[in-house]
Amino acid sequence: MSATTHSLLILACLTPSMAATAQTPSCPGGRASTALEQYTWVEPHPRDVVVKQVVKAITVLGYTFADTSGPLVTAPKFSWPTDVIFKLWRGLVYPGATLTIAVEPTGPWTRVRLETRLQCETGQRPPPGHPQDVDFSTFVLSQTHAEASWAIAWPLHHVKVRAFAESCAPLQDGDRKIEVCRQMAKAQPRNPEALRQYVIALARFYRARDAWKPLSELFALEGERTSTYGEVGAAMLGARQFDDARKLYERSTVLWPADPTMPYHLGRAHLGLHAFGPAADAFAVAVRLDSTFADAHTYAAVALAQLGHLDESRRHCAIATRYLETTLADRVAEVDAWLGLAYCAGIVARDREAVSYFARALAIDHSGARATPELVDVISASYAVVGDQPPAPLPH
């Protein structure tokens, strides 16, 4: 019997027919909701193991399955989730929710896509005792979705991984990913990619100090490569492990003194450490190597402004803006392009533009847009003048 057939038999035993599903309450005034949240992740287990857990978890939460012919689709459920966070909310009308769960093999592992959809638009506000500026539908949808995803994923975290894919990269960042990557690197001691992914998993999940030993093993295995420095350094910077990133990029600037990206990233590490003088020095090297390096001009402006060198800061911003406006059509998905435009508009009091550009950066990467406080402070000053603005239009 195939794994797929076995999984469907499990579902058939646990799933009532459509005819047996209770009639669902109609929405007040017929106002159906369009609120939707989706999340996709990879579980390092075969599909049949994941399907069994999905069925068990979702059934325990009180849902019944209405369709199992493709993705698993629940009938609408109109009772409040049992999560304690909803204790204050149970005197209100629950808007109803359906779940759609696609469980698809990806090599020896499984990709899970959970979609949570609210049924009704009720027009309610949060209960007394809960902040009243919270949107009812957004909060209820988010918590309903989180409860379902947690119910599926948490028990699977405790299931032993018995088959390894080609790479651990698709897994969610976290301790389990680190452990799976470690096991894969240990099982393939001559595979540099397995070791690289283990190093990156450590760096991305705030354990950069633990990454140095396997990184040295990787260098011994394949030598020191610019691509490895770039990937590992980006992971360290993204996890705000700035001192480790500084050490890495100090080494890279010695190895590749003609590569402007190395002093640029060294400058970003210094900036994260609030070492504005060393940051400005590093950005100066980057723009000396490549005078068209817009992002290096942007962050040179940020560092120089913190040192009180405002004329130099504006000069770098003028150069950055010129190059960013020329290349923006090719960089619409890059948060640093919009941040550069936002910052450089802000320091010359073009406040509406600054807030609009920053709104676009937030739409691309909310946490990344706020990663440099010294940059965000300038945008905040513009926001205080003009308030919210729509995101800047995308270039044609």
- pLDDT, block means (10 residues), the chain with 396 residues: 39 35 58 94 96 96 91 94 86 94 96 97 89 91 95 94 92 95 94 96 96 97 97 97 98 98 98 98 98 98 98 98 97 97 97 98 95 96 96 92
Strands (E), the chain: 36-43, 65-67, 72-74, 97-106, 109-118
Per-residue model confidence (pLDDT) at position 132: 86
For residues 384 and 344, give the distance between their C-alpha atoms in angstroms, rounded to a whole number. Answer: 17
**Which pLDDT score, from 0 to 100, does residue 16 have?**
36
Let me know: does 395 contact 329? Beta carbons within 8 Å. yes
Give the Cα separation of 344 and 320 in Å (integer): 8
Q: Torsions phi, psi of 154, nearest 5?
A: -60, -50
pLDDT tens digits for 162-213? 999 989 999 999 999 999 999 999 999 999 999 999 999 999 999 999 999 9
Q: What is the pLDDT of residue 195?
A: 96
- The answer to whether the beta carbons of residues 95 and 118 sit under 8 Å apart is yes
Mean confidence (pLDDT) of the chain: 91
pLDDT value of position 18:
35
DSSP 92: S
Tokens 């057939």: give the residue: 5
- Token representation of residue 79: 């009772």
Any residues with CB less than 8 A from the CB of 226 and at least 6 apart, and which?
A: 252, 256, 259
| H-type alpha helices, 223-293 | 226-238, 242-255, 261-272, 276-289
What is the side-by-side strand order in the sheet with 36-43? 36-43, 109-118, 97-106, 72-74, 65-67
CB atoms within 10 A of CB 155: 12
User: What distance in Å separates the CA atoms of residue 176 and residue 40, rounded to the nearest whole number?
Assistant: 17
For residue 371, which phi and psi values (nearest 5 degrees)?
A: -70, -25
* pTM, rounded to two decimals: 0.83
Determine contact, residues 50/110, Cβ cutoff 8 Å. Answer: yes
Q: Tell me the backbone φ, ψ of residue 297, rounded to 5 degrees.
A: -65, -40
Residue 97: CA count within 13 A, CB half-sphere: 30
